[in-house]
Structures are given as structure tokens and as C-alpha cells.
Structure 1
Amino acid sequence: MKILMVEDDNSVAEMMKLFFAKENWEVDIANDGQEAVEMFMANQDKYDIITLDLNLPKKDGMQVAKEIREISKDIPIIMLTARDSESDQILGLGIGADEYVTKPFSPLALIARIKALYRRVHIDDSEDGEDTDKGFDVVTKHLKISKDRREVLFENKPVTDLTPKEFDLLLTMAKSPKQVFSREKLLELVWGYEYFGEERTVDAHIKKLRQKLEAAGPQVIQTVWGVGYKFDDTEV
């Protein structure tokens, strides 16, 4: 795996570089926001994942995430920050980050999150490749999803700006229409590891996913109060 780590704290960057090396991962380090954007623009196909500090010189992490998302809708982004307020988290996820990890963090926990996010984005390519040219994996009244092509058609309109996590959430729920998923279950299925204490992450992603779907068609993700969420487009 090749990682772009955007971090202005050299001690943190060097520490994580050692942990990444133990995983046989390569890492490039950008020490400020401007450098991060320039490095990614010059090497868009080089990186598998980005870890992005929020408080950076020249350009903060929010601006960096926004600019990178304008370049690539698919590159997974994990935002690292000392801030843990809900508003900051929702803003970061809304801009396009897929994960939000607060400092101080365990290096091993960060590695687990990187592996889980990478697995969710890339492993599907090796599972059902034979279906790539045979249509869609999920077809409902209003929605079509291709897992391999990571393509979504809603009301026959392409939804092209979904982040990796938003796509995986939609796919997970749409594969089981009308099934109610708790936040804990969605964290388990989509994030792929124990994600204690951060259920609001699901709410933030669902909010952005709804907004993007509503731009193309009716609302099909429903809240089941006190339980969680479900996908149901049979009544719209």
C-alpha cells in the first residue's frame, strides 16, 4: 500500500512511518496543506489512501480535503485531528473525508482503520469480476448499483460524487431493502471493525448520502426512530 500522510508534526509523522514500514507500506509525507495538494496532483494514481491532519500550515485539512475531492472522488481519506466536536466531524465528512480519527490515537488502531477502509474500497475487484460487464449487482424500483464499477444510477441518473463510505453504506442497505440496520450494525458491515463510541459517524455519512440522492430522485433512506436506518423505494 502507498500512503500520503499529511502531517506537520514531525514526531507523529516519523512514528507512523515506522509503523507503516512494519506493514511493508510505503509512505510519502507532506508537511503542509499546499504541499499535500501539489503532491497528490502530481501523483494521483500513486496513492492508495491519504491520512490528513486537520490543523496544517498554508492550507488547513478541510481545504485540502475539498481540493483533493475535486481531483478525485475515489481516493480514501482519513482525517486526523485534535478536535473532536461533532460540528467539526460532520464538516470534515461532508467535505469528503471517509474517516475521522481524533488525537491522541493508537498507531495500531489507525493501522486497523486504514486496512479496513482499503479492504472495503479495493477487495470487491477480486470477488465478482465476472459481473463487470453483465449489468448491475443491485436493481430496485429506482436504483441500480454496480459493485465492481462502483457505479450508481438513481432514476437512471448517474450519482457520481459519492465517497467510498457513502457508496458502501448505500450498497449495504440497498442489498437488503426494508431491512432495518442499527448504527452498530452499519459500523460493523461498512467500517469492518469495532468502532466504539463514534456512532454519530454513521449519522454524518447518512446525511450527506441523502443530500446527494435527493439531487437525483426521491428520498429512499428512511430513519427508523430509536433503531437505525433502512433503504426502501417501493412506496416512492
Structure 2
Amino acid sequence: MSNSKDFLLIVEDEEAIGEGLQYNFEAEGFEVALVPDGKEAIYFIKEHYDKISTIILDLMLPQVDGYEILKKTRILAERIPILVLSAKSLEIDRVKAFELGADDYVTKPFSLSEIILRVKRLVQRRKWYKPNGKESIQKFGQSLFDPERLTITSAEGITYRISPTEGLLIQVFIENENKILTRTDLLQKVWQYEATIETRTVDVFVGKLRKYIEKNAAKPAHIISVRGVGYSYVTKNNEKN
């Protein structure tokens, strides 16, 4: 694999869609590998995870489904951004994919220009996290956030590995401490979505962050829901012992 281009892995069993995506992303300057089934995808990721810039992943695949690929990829390489591209349009499918580590989710049929834009943004988001040698550990609630290593360490000393998308969401909350952020604000700042995109994405990711930093995720002390609006990150320790 060449190191001069961003490398995109497309896991798609529909030949017309896969080859169409490959052609268009190569025209955009990407190096592309197209894999048609889940078993081959897992093997490819194990062999080349250090070279892959982004993955476009279908969920309904022969042999091994996309959910299992998400699980295994997050064990091997939590930093690889993954965009799920699937005909599964129910909220339960979207939520499950996000909980297993997807960074973005687009349903079929899709806009080619939108897919290209989203993949480019995922690549840039990953590059933003390259270590720069500076001390950058930040307090997030009662936990410590390390954006260089993409980890959160709880007050109890438990360390969690997180994705670049989760890291960027944390950064946005820290930079907007004690401010109310609408779901649209967060979609635009983290995912760079337009306001017309549905906002369940934000709720799923906020739920994941609460599990990392709150003593009781059901009664959060730091990432507070503002009913009908969005969220506010507060640093004052309201947690009860």
C-alpha cells in the first residue's frame, strides 16, 4: 500500500454499489480496496489496520455481518473512522451501530457527494488526533481525558479507549463549559452535519460519554440534559458520595 494517499476500505457485497464507490473515491485521490464479504474484511483489517484511513461498511454481508466487523475492528484499531452505509434504516439499527463503534451512519439509497464529503471529514478528524508531543491531558468531569492517546481515565482509575469522534465531542464540551449546546450545534461542530439531519446520533454518543465519566449515568452530574434543547457540560461536582 502506498503511504502517499489516504487509504479507504470499502466493505460492500453489492457489486454495482461497491465498484461505483471505488471508482469515485479513486477519482478523488484515495487508494481504495473493495472487499465483498465479512470474513475477508476481518482478515484484511487484521493485516492492514495500520494503513487504513477510513472504512465504509455495509451491515448485511455474507459470512460475517457488519456488526461483528465493528466489534472486531474496535478491538484492533479504535482510531479508524467507520462510516456505516446500510439499507437498515430503523433507529434501533443506527443506535446499535453507534454503540459498537461506528462514527457515522448513512442509509441507502444515498447521495454520492454526501458520502464523499463525510468520508473526507472522517479522515481529517482522524488526522487531528495525531500526537504532537505536547502535554494535553484535560479534566473532564472527575475523569482525565488524553486526546493524544484517545483515552479517558475515571476517578476510580479505570481507563477507557475512545474513538476520534468521541474525543472530538469531549473537546467541544470542554471548550463550551457551562454553555447550553443544542443538538444541532453538536452535529455541526462534531459531525459537520446540516440541521436537517436527525439528531439521535448526538444522544447516542452523549450516552456513551456519560458511561465513561458519570458515577450514575442515569442521573448525570456533568453532562446535563436541557429538555427540548440539547446538553450542557458543567464542571461543578454535583455528584453525591
TM over 0.5: yes
Matched residue, 1:205:
205
Asked if 1:37 corresponds to 2:39, the answer is no
CA distance in 1, matches of 2:160, 2:22: 33
Q: Is the 8 A contact 1:145 1:171 kept in 2?
A: no
Mapping for residues 32-181 of structure 1, pairs under 5 Å? 32-125=37-130, 129=132, 132-136=133-137, 138-139=138-139, 142-155=142-155, 157=157, 159-181=159-181
CA distance in 1, matches of 2:31, 2:49: 15
Return structure 1 stretches of 4+ with deviation > 6 angstroms: 215-218
Q: Give, in angstroms, the shift of residue 183 of structure 1.
A: 0.5
Amino acid at match of 2:46: M
Amino acid at match of 2:102: A
For 1:91-144, what per-residue CA distance to the aligned partner results, in whole angstroms no more than 9, with x for missing partners? 010011111110011111001111112212213548xx3xx33343x3356243
Would the alpha carbon gap of residues 76 and 158 (structure 1) be closer, same or farther in structure 2, given more than 3 Å must change?
farther
Asked if 1:220 corresponds to 2:222, the answer is yes
TM-score, normalised with respect to structure 2: 0.87
How many residues of Structure 1 are paired with residues of Structure 2 in the alignment? 231
Q: Give, in angstroms, the shift of residue 48 of structure 1.
A: 0.6
TM-score, normalised with respect to structure 1: 0.89
Identity of aligned residues (%): 32
Would the alpha carbon gap of residues 222 and 40 (structure 1) be closer, same or farther in structure 2, given more than 3 Å must change?
same
Amino acid at match of 2:231: Y
CA RMSD of aligned residues (A): 2.2
Would the alpha carbon gap of residues 223 and 31 (structure 1) be closer, same or farther in structure 2, given more than 3 Å must change?
same
Residue range with higher mean Cα deviation, 85-94 or 160-169: 160-169
Q: Is the 8 A contact 1:52 1:77 kept in 2?
A: yes
Would the alpha carbon gap of residues 45 and 216 (structure 1) be closer, same or farther in structure 2, given more than 3 Å must change?
farther
